[in-house]
Amino acid sequence: MLMASGENVQLTLSDSGAIASLRAVGRAEVLVTDSKSLPAFQLQYIDGGGNFRQLSSHDRRTHGSDRSETPDETVLHSSFLDLGGVGIDVDVTVRCPRDEALTYWSLSLRQPHGVVIADVQFPFVVAPYDYEAGGPTKLLIPMREGRLHEAPRPEDLEPDHPSTWQFLSAHNSFDHYPGTMFAQFLAYYNDSHGIYIGCHDTRGAVKNLKAVHHPSGLRLGVSHVVGWSEPGSHELGYEVAVGVFDGDWHTAADLYRDWYEEAAKPTKLADRADAPAWILDSPVHVILRAQGEVDSGPAPANAEVVPYPEALPLLDAFSENVKSAVLPVVMSWEGPGPWVYPESFPVVGGDDSMRAFTQAARDRGWHVGTYCNGTQWVTEHKWTGYDGGAYYAAGGGERTVCRTPDGSPWRNDWDAEWRTSYTCCAAVDRTQELARDYVGHLLDLGFDWVQFFDQNCGAAAFPCYSHDHGHPPAPGRWMTHAMDTLFDSFDALAAESPRDIVFSVESAPNDYAMPRFHICDIRPDLGRGTDVVPLYQYLFHEYVLTQAAFAPGPNPYWMEIKTASSFALGDVLTAILGREGRLINWSGTPWARWDSPAGDQEAVLTLLRRASAMRRGPGKDFLVLGRLLGVSPVDQVGQVQWTEGAHAESAPAVMHAAWAAHDGRTAVALANWTREPQNVRLAARQEGDEGTFHLQDSDPVLLSGLAGGDIELPPLAVALLEWPA
């Protein structure tokens, strides 16, 4: 066995090079399952017939290892030669700094001609589901907005099967990093200790990070999607950090954020020259649907929106009610039917009508946005009768479409009920040309806010196995390079525009692509008992805006709860316009029919008016430009309980979160979404124990003796309690 021990962590490798144990120094608990069956790594390669084959460190012909010391660290090295008789050699190096709680792993590989390495799974970390001490385990996954699984069981996870790590057409083609997996780490912990594994890579290499069920326990799996097809030597090009921590999910997130901010050096929104002042002024985003009410349903043009100037009186009334500039976001406007790409123009109702609308909005000091369809190719819309087969054939669709391992076109299955669509390979020139022309047309129509990467969730490139697209015949780093080229072309279009342009993306953008966007479309489930945590805002709020127009939640108080939650967590405020200008107050999947219950329109408008004013006013340095803190001092919040149909529902009566401004001031944002007064208590003492209480529609009040004190919030109140630096 090889062992390395520093001041904080002790690592032991088995004779086969696998992790035998990982523990905090001075702790008796073994944090990683000790199993002789565990490999040091696994890899998959694609044979000449397009079949996936698997090898691991157990399949080596020979194996050697050694240990060396420097004053600062211990270095463990293992070599694995001639895996499976195929001629693949792998070297693994582990650095163990003496003064850290993390160890750092790197890998290099040599492969013969004719072998395509699809992925390398490394390091191989498996932990028990439960410990005798420390309470139930928790699992933090940076997927979509952030997921925290409590006491995970085998049936809650995917099995650790080869197909789990393969890109197959039946799987979501964006649930990887960089994609809806927005950061490259996993964390697992209980009240006593935790395990962190994170990839310290600033260049956006493609990875799958998943917690899966392994016969030996819960595996914190990292699959490096390398796509190495050339014979010779290859290096992973970055280190993987594996170590221990004490704390909760915020502590694990801090480990990743500390590395990311030091290595990637992202620019804060407040300092970004490309962030228009108007988006930082937080206009309320209003969704307008041009055709139909739901995606899988009839799609006639909606008279409230088309012709587009018809929507202006409704928007004027809404703007007056909420006392804010608005940003209309027009969706479902594609001429042949909602969500048809790339044969979308002219828009339903005509391009001239759209230009008249965007100009009228600018005359009001507003800006207009739009949702798009991403790098898809739609050939059929079943509700409108659109048949795009001829356009697909004449427009080069065949050569743009991603290919599965067997060479078939990559068909989307999630939308098969109402349309036929294919993912497109971003490495193909024709894909890039179509996207550039499309965005150029949108800017010509007068849009200032463009969410082209809708369905490229998280700003993901789609995987492709084509031999004819100018990239290696497997997913890999080329996907990131192709997206970089596409981002560059959009930035060039924005630079040529006489207006300040904002780019958005569906889902929280991965941290590699995040600097390319100003805002994103997140959809956290606000329902009772969900596993959503605000991990994205906690990590990256200072760098990109979020809006949660389509975040699902419990009815009939969906809009009240969503507005209060968005205010507290620093989202841009949003609403969805329905029939005759009525706000949609009913949660759908992801949107409801227009004839859904009207709910309490006055309550929602009041919350939107107060929340947007506080966000633009005293809250701007916190809720727009500040950093979300891990712990709010608010305690003893009452719960509202009700029954909707057969479901028992509940929600906190007051949404709250703590914030820090760049100058050192701190604050807690509070929103009482109910029509009853609510009391909250400040459980944590603050510096000076004195703060300024900003209650919207009231004058600021200086409060002292706050620690352990009660604060009464009036009905539908939005407040900010601020402490000096």
**Interval 564-597: pLDDT, tens:** 999 999 999 999 999 889 999 999 877 888 888 9
Local confidence band at 706 (pLDDT 50, 70, 90 cut-offs)? low
Alpha carbon separation from 22 to 12, 141, 358, 621 (Å, rounded) = 7, 21, 59, 42
Residue with tokens 């760098």: 543
pLDDT of residue 154: 94
What are the E-state strand segments in 392-473?
419-423, 449-453
**Residue 282 and residue 612: Cα distance in Å, rounded?**
7
Residue 426 to residue 415: CA distance in whole angstroms: 21
pLDDT at 45: 96
Angle, CA 261 vertex, CA 260 and CA 267 arms, to 5°: 120
Average per-residue pLDDT for the chain: 93
Q: Across residues 633-657, what is the average pLDDT? A: 92
Tokens linked to 70: 């420097």
pLDDT at 710 over 90: no
Per-residue pLDDT tens for 432-476?
Answer: 999 999 999 999 999 999 999 999 999 999 999 999 999 999 999
pLDDT of 15 reads: 81
Q: Report the Cα 354 to chain-centroid distance in Å.
A: 31
Q: pLDDT at position 8, please?
A: 85
199 beta partners: 240
Strand order in the sheet with 666-672: 627-628, 654-660, 666-672, 718-723, 690-695, 701-704
Report residue 187 as tokens: 């964390």
On whether the CB atoms of residues 211 and 126 are closer than 8 A, the answer is: no
Any bridge partners for residue 158, and if so which? 212
pLDDT (average), residues 647-671: 95
- The pLDDT-based confidence of 131 (bands split at 50, 70, 90) is confident
Are 310 and 399 in contact, with CB atoms under 8 Å apart?
Answer: no
The bridge status of strand 710-713 relative to strand 678-682 is: antiparallel
**Do 518 and 624 touch, CB atoms closer than 8 A?**
no
Please, is 26 exposed, middle or buried when counting C-beta atoms within 10 Å of its C-beta (0-12, 13-18, 19+)? exposed
| pLDDT (0 to 100) of residue 27 | 73
Report, as an integer, the average pLDDT of 71-87.
94
Q: Among the listed ranges 268-282, 535-549, 638-652, which one has the minimum average pLDDT value? A: 638-652
Statement: residue 707 has pLDDT above 70? no
Would you state the structure tokens that stand for residue 591, as one six-digit string? 């949107």
Phi-psi category of residue 256: left, alpha or beta, with phi > 0 → left and psi -120 to 50 → alpha = alpha
Other Cβ atoms less than 10 A from the Cβ of 14: the count is 17
Percent of the chain with pLDDT over 70: 97
Residues 6+ apart with CB under 8 A from 256: 142, 183, 184, 185, 196, 198, 539
**pLDDT band for position 410 (cuts 50, 70, 90):** very high
Q: Are 717 and 675 in contact (CB under 8 A)?
A: no
CA distances from 317 to 314, 563, 582 (A): 5, 19, 10
Rg (CA), the chain: 26
SS3 535: helix
The pLDDT of 352-376, averaged and rounded, is: 97
Burial 466-482 (b: 16+ CB within 10 A, else e): beebebbbbbbbbbbeb
State the average pLDDT over residues 424-437.
98
pTM of the shown model:
0.96
**Beta-strand relationship, 42-46 and 62-69:** unpaired
Is the pLDDT assigned to residue 688 strictly greater than 70? no
- pLDDT band of residue 294 (cuts 50, 70, 90) is very high
Give the containing element (helix H, strand E) for 537: helix 535-540
Between 44 and 21, the more confident residue is 44
Q: What is the model's pLDDT at position 588?
A: 86
What pLDDT sits at residue 37?
81
Report the distance separating Cα 286 and Cα 328, nearest Å: 5
Report d(CA 498, CA 582) in Å as an integer. Answer: 34
Would you state the pLDDT for residue 394? Answer: 96
Q: pLDDT category, 684, cuts 50, 70, 90? A: low
According to the model, what pLDDT value does residue 169 have?
78
CB atoms within 10 A of CB 664: 10
Strand 419-423 relative to strand 449-453: parallel, antiparallel, unpaired?
Answer: unpaired
pLDDT tier at 701 (50, 70, 90 boundaries)? Answer: confident
**Long-range contacts of 259-266, Cβ-Cβ distance < 8 Å, separation of 24 or more:** 259/198, 259/200, 260/183, 260/511, 260/539, 263/200, 263/202, 264/202, 264/511, 266/511, 266/514, 266/515, 266/543
What pLDDT shows up at residue 28?
A: 64
What 3-state class would DSSP assign to 481?
A: helix
Spatial contact of 221 and 210, defined as CB atoms under 8 Å apart: yes
pLDDT of residue 34: 64
Q: What is the pLDDT of residues 182-201, one digit of tens each?
A: 999 999 999 888 999 999 99
The helix/strand/coil state of 638 is coil
Q: Per the structure block, which two tokens stand in for 638? A: 């009452």
Query: How far, in Å, CA of 427 to CA of 400, rounded?
Result: 9
Element (H, E) at 439: helix 429-445
Euclidean distance between CA atoms 699 and 543, whole angstroms? 31
Asked whether residue 120 carries a pLDDT value surpassing 80, the answer given is yes
Query: 20 or 609, which is more confident?
Result: 609
Task: State the Cα–Cα distance between residues 249 and 145, nearest whole angstrom.
Answer: 14
One-letter amino acid of 305: V
Is 135 in contact with 443 (CB distance < 8 Å)?
no
